Every structure is written in C-alpha cells, then in structure tokens.
Structure 1
Amino acid sequence: MSAPSATIRQPAPDNNKAAPLLGLGCSRLGSTLSGCSGADAVRLLHHALDAGVTLFDTADIYGQGESERLIGEALRGRRQGVMIVTKGGQRFTAAQRAATLVKRPLRMLAGMIPSLRRGIAGRRAAPLPRDYTPAHLRRAVEGSLRRLGTERIDLYLLHSPSAEDIRRGEAFPMLEELRAAGLIGAWGISVDDAEAARAALRLPELRGLQLPLAIAEEMRPELAAAAAGGATLLMREIFAGGPRDAASRRAAMAAALSHPGATALVGTTSATHLDEALASARAVGRAA
C-alpha cells in the first residue's frame, strides 16, 4: 500500500501562535530507574508550568504508561494553553508487561542492587517490537487519552518507524479519521535516522516531525520548507554525548533554535537543569 498524499487534509497548527522555544521531554518520568515518580514528578511538571513551559513530550511506553499518567495528573485544571505531544507504535513484550505489576519493588531493589540496575538498563536499551497497524494505533491513542485525562492529544506521532514503514503509510487514513473526530489535533512522525526523516518530509501534509539535532543539521533546507508549510518541528537529543560545559550547552541550544520555528526538547528530571535550559533558550532566541 502506498502512502496517501493529496487525500490527507490535516489542519496546520495555529500559526498565529509562535512555537515554544523549549519543551520538556518526559521519557524518564515514572521510569523504574529515573528516581522521578509520584509526587516528585508532579512537582517537576508543576515547576515547568510555572516557569512557562507549554509543551510536554511523552509516549505510551515511557515509564510503562506512567509518564502519561503523571502528565495528566499535573495538568489537571491547567490544560488550557498546553501542547501535549505523545507517540505510539512501539509495544512491550509479555515479560515487560508482567514487570509493570512489580514496578515499585523493582525500583527499590534497583536502587540497592547495582547488578539489577544494570540488567534493567540493558533491557531498556534493547529495541521494542514495532506495530503501526491501524488497530494497534487506535487502541494506543485511546489508552493515551485515558492516561493523560484529556479529550484530545494535540500532536500524535508515530514512534520511530523505519523509512519503509513510512512509505507504506498503513496507519495514515486511520489517523486522519481520529483527527477528523477531534481525538487528535494533528499527527506526525518521530524519526531516528536520516532516511526515515526524508521519507517523512516527502509526505505532502506532514504536520509534525521530531528528530535528533544531529540529523536535523543534515537537512536544513527540507526542514525549513516543512516549517514554512505549517509543520511542527521538535528537536531532541540537544545535549547528546554526555555532560557539557555551559558554553557548549548554549551552543547546542542555539543550533537547535536556529532551525526556523523549531522547539528544543530537553529531557530532565531536575528543576535546576530545566531552569538552566530555559535561560539558555531565552538567551539565544531563535533564527528569523
């Protein structure tokens, strides 16, 4: 099945409202290893809201769904003006689903037993099975809406499909149905490599693209054209490669925001680090 093109009609995001400079990446919230769950995670999210963060990026697999639940709890009564981005298309194995039943004791044990912590980290690094069928994604959207406690996901992304998955376009008509029904505001794709990014950018009606900054640097003209057409651009892995000094972090932020209309995603569980990233983003601004 070839990817639909002119038949897809997604509305562009509100172009009268500037894209936020920075969004909070929430992949570690509720994780067994992150140490940021429950009340600590809600406090971090409230701190982000109070600091002016209006975009939160998550996925149905983050924290085995706990990341979405925590965002939903934190946004209760504060949903207006906030953009929720979540993703679907990856799924857990039976063993991983069973592990969610003992997540709390696992978290405690992992803090005490280094070998267990290493084992969990190793399993997390392994790729998950992918499923971009309409049936799976419809269930995934419904589950995300329930956990987030919202009536609409502002931007729904396919999570790490290959270029071939994108060219096949199996789920696009169904996602458009969900958009027309008001369950999602727009849909797009989160990619891991340049080939998938270029396949996504060939979709005439693409309305959202998330990609690592290193890949974005390879395709500035294509990304600028997508942004001019109304697509939301989310730059992730801004500080990839480990700790950096303040000057290096500021340079990385400047590189992300030099893409017109882009939002830099910063994944952190530290309010201090978030404040530093916000200050850096506001200092460098964005390209005209």
Structure 2
Amino acid sequence: MMPAHLPPVPPAYCGSPVGGRIRSPDAAAVGTTAALRAQGMSAIGIGCARIGSLSSAQSTETAQAMFELAAARGITLFDTAGIYGGGTSEQVVGRHANRHDGVFVMTKIGRHQSVVGRLAHSLKRWTKPLMGARARGVARAVRQGNIQTDFSPLALQLATQAAQRRLGGARINALLLHSPPAEILAQPATLQVLQSFKIHGSADWVGVSCDDLATLRVAAAAPAVDMVQMPLPLYQEGARQGVVDRLIEQNVAILLRGVLRDRGGSTPRDALLAAGGLPGVSSVIVGVSSPDHLREIL
C-alpha cells in the first residue's frame, strides 16, 4: 500500500516564516530524508522535463514505458513542472501515480509560457510528428525565449490548483518554487504562501529549485523550506561557501540534478552513486529520454 501522507502542520506550528524553522512531526523526529524515504521518495528520481516537449522526440507512450521500467527498478520519485510540455508532463506523471502505489510526485510552480509559447504547445499535436532534430532545436530556443515568471501569492495559488487538475487527483508530495530570483524568495509574502501550501494540505513538503548561490543562501535561511533542488555545480559552490553545511544543520533535504553532464570518465551509474553519497543529499534526479536510456544509466 502507498505510505500514509504526512499530516498538514497544525496551526500551533504556524508562526511567522522568519520566527523559526517549521517541520512536520515525522521530520523533526527522524530527520527529513528518513521521513521522505518513509513516504516513498527514492534515492534516484526521474526528471520529466522532456515529456511532451516540442523539442523532444519522446512520445507520451515512450514515457509511460519508461515509467513502468522505473517502477520495476524501485524508482518512485518523478520530478515535473507545469511548464514542462505545456502541462503534458504533469498529466503523464499523474496518470502513472494514479496507476501505481507509492509514487512520489514532485512538481514546480512560478514559471509559465507566454501567449506565443502556449500557442506553439496547442499546435504540437500536429506539428511535432513532422519535426526533425534541427526543428526541435529551434523549438527549444523559441520555448526558452517565451518563458515568463510570476511568483506573486495569487499566481502561485492558481498555479498549484492548475497542477492539481493536470495531475488528475494524484497527490502532490513535494511542491517547489521553480527557480525564483533571490530577491523574490526573500520576500515575506513569498515564504508565507509557500508555507501555506503545507499548512493547508496542498502538498506534504515544500521547497525551492535553485539555480544560483544567492537564491540558495536565501533558501537555506528560510524556515518554510523543507527541501532544495539544485544542479551539481551549484552544490559544489555551496559546499565551498558553507551553504551546504547550513542546509544540513537546518535538516533541509538536498536533491541534485545535472549530475551526468560533466562526469568525466565515470560511468553514469558511478556518477549517480557518487552524487548520492555527497553530504546532505537525499536524492539524485536524472533526466531520461527512453527506456533504453534508463537501462544504460542504471
């Protein structure tokens, strides 16, 4: 059976986001990583950015086959976002979670496509089968140029509701802000709305996907944050600057991504094992494009 979800934080725990670190009871008792494991989060996760993307040749059927293989290998963590594939990624992850017990769904909010980007995604059903590798590269550039952000409390609340609809009723186990600027994350209103998602039961865990050291520093000092996701080079920089030590001291779970990009002569499996063994790391997320790709990595 699927592990029981942690209860929302009771009102007695809900002081000001700057007053003290807030933890679910299980996390306080056994540590965040152990509590996440008990809820079903695997040490290796699948990054789902390519699912439904115009720039990827992967079909949703291929993604489903990859998910089935992942389940057979004990992988339960699936990292998605509302912006991935114009929402298709969340839909596919939601279908998988609704078919299998123990799936740990992580999604991200705060970024969205412009009108141009949304129009391109609405047409992808007809255009994607006709696109070659070069055309997909152009589509990727267009997509990146049409990404917008909105981390206002209302926008984040609406984005969470939209994610719940796309996931088709699957539980949001972890809800992360998607690469917010440090100055936005540091605003009390941002931290309060992030905290509220856990308090009111929209997600079991909340956190931040970080792209730079400034944002990572703010996340390490924010009581509302249960977990941070970051690329391996940022982890290494954060370790040199003492930020990783602060995260560990504050019992914040660390999730790494991008660990296979600069692995030198290491095999993919050795690179994953090495990253997973770094201090404070709870899980390593790897982007996978097909079942064969997953077999090569594992």
TM over 0.5: yes
Q: Give distance in 2, aligned partners of 1:186 and 1:88.
A: 14
Match of 2:82 in 1: 60
1:69 counterpart = 2:91: yes
> TM-score, normalising length from structure 2?
0.82
- Between the two proteins, what is the percent identity of the paired residues? 30
Alignment of 1:153-232 (within 5 A): 153-220=172-239, 221-232=242-253
Q: Aligned residue for 1:263?
A: 283
Is it true that 1:235 corresponds to 2:256 in the alignment?
Answer: yes
Which digits, 9 at most, give the CA deviation of each residue in 1:228-272, with x for residues without a partner? 53322110111125x865447624640353233431110011223
Classify the secondary structure of the residue corresponding to 2:78.
strand
- 2:244 counterpart letter in structure 1: L
Aligned length: 272
Q: Secondary structure at the match of 1:5?
A: coil
Q: RMSD between aligned alpha carbons?
A: 2.4
Alignment match of 1:142 (pick from 146, 154, 161): 161
The TM-score normalised by the length of structure 1 is: 0.85
Gaps of 5+ in 1: 279-288
Instruction: Please say if 1:103 is aligned against 2:116.
Output: no
Q: Which amino acid aligns with 1:48?
A: A
The residue matched to 1:210 in structure 2 has which SS? strand
Give a deviation string over 1:63-82, Cα, whole Å, max 9, x none.
0000000011122231x322
Structure-2 change in CA distance of 1:7 and 1:123 (3 Å): same
| In structure 1, C-alpha distance between the alignment counterparts of 2:197 and 2:275, rounded to whole Å | 34
Please say which of residues 221-230 and 264-273 is displaced more in the overlay.
221-230
Residue 135 of structure 1 deviates from its aligned partner by 0.8
Mapped partners of 1:177, 1:252: distance in 2: 33
Q: Whole-Å Cα distance in 2 between the matches of residues 150 and 6 of structure 1?
A: 34
Question: Which residue type is aligned with residue 66 of structure 1?
Answer: T
Unaligned runs of 5+ in 2: 1-15
Higher relative contact order (Cα pairs below 8 Å, separated by 6+ residues)? 1
What secondary structure does 2:230 align onto?
strand
Question: Hey, what's the Cα distance between the residues in 1 that align with 2:170 and 2:70?
Answer: 22
Question: 3-state DSSP class of the match of 1:269?
Answer: coil
Equivalent residues of 1:257, 1:263 under 8 A apart: no
User: Structure 1 residues 52, 252: closer, same or farther in 2, change over 3 A?
Assistant: closer
Corresponding position of 2:3: none
- Give the letter aligned to residue 284 of structure 2: A
Which position in structure 2 is the counterpart of 1:285? none
Deviations 1:135-188 (A, max 9, x none): 111111111111112353111110011111111243322232222221111211
| 2:148 maps to 1:126 | no
- CA 1:248 to 1:184, structure 2 compared with 1: closer, same or farther past 3 Å? closer
